[in-house]
């Protein structure tokens, strides 16, 4: 029997993780008056007391640098109709042009939040935990809202997938 290498484990794990459907989010913060955002799927709740979530950001991104220095960020959960926004924030549009796509509103904390998003959460960074190539940023929720009538934009196996809302399934 051949020995399993770390390379094999990494390859297999990448294949497994591609099959995990995840909500598509745009994470936004700013530095020195310049807004920046990127698409991310590594977002999850941490606690209800206090309400908090975690985002996982690659250490080599500009957003990572910003989040280490700016305490506030927004998580904007995209709806099925907002694939174009995901594409823009995934690198198809220059960073300085991204916020021209969609309607963005400045929150009292200073960060932009997407009007018309399926859900939006504004957080204050409470911890940054480095691990290997990424950092886990834990944010305490300072505001949250959801649009009940929309379906989420999901990403699975390197492509977008759209689910039907429960209302549509019951018709």
Contacts of residue 6, defined as CB under 8 A and 6 or more positions apart, other chains included, come to none
pLDDT above 50 for 171: no
Question: Which tops the pLDDT comparison, 2 or 134?
Answer: 134
pLDDT above 60 for 169: no
pTM: predicted TM-score of the whole model, two decimal places:
0.89
Q: Where are the domains of the chain?
A: 20-169
Query: What is d(CA 113, CA 37) in angstroms, rounded to the nearest whole number?
Result: 10
Above pLDDT 90, what percent of the chain?
A: 74
| Superfamily for the 20-169 domain | Electron Transport, Fmn-binding Protein; Chain A (2.30.110.10)
- CB–CB of 84/98 below 8 Å? no
- Residue 6: which H helix or E strand, with range? helix 6-18
pLDDT digits (tens, 9 = 90+) for 48-95: 999 999 999 999 999 999 999 999 999 999 999 999 999 999 999 999
């Amino acid at each position: 029997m051949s020995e399993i290498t770390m390379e094999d484990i990494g390859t297999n794990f990448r294949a497994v993780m591609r099959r995990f459907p995840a909500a598509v989010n745009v994470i936004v913060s700013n530095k020195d008056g310049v807004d920046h955002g990127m698409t991310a799927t590594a977002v999850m709740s941490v606690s209800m007391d206090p309400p908090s979530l975690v985002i996982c950001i690659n250490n080599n991104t500009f957003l990572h640098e910003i989040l280490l220095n700016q305490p506030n960020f927004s998580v904007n959960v995209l709806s099925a109709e907002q694939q174009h926004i995901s594409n823009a924030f995934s690198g198809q549009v220059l960073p300085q042009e991204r916020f021209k796509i969609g309607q963005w509103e400045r929150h009292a904390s200073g960060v932009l939040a997407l009007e018309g998003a399926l859900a939006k959460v504004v957080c204050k960074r409470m911890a940054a935990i480095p691990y290997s190539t990424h950092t886990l940023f834990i944010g305490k929720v300072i505001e949250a809202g959801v649009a009940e009538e929309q379906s989420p934009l999901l990403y699975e196996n390197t492509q977008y997938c759209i689910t039907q809302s429960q209302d549509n399934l019951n018709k």
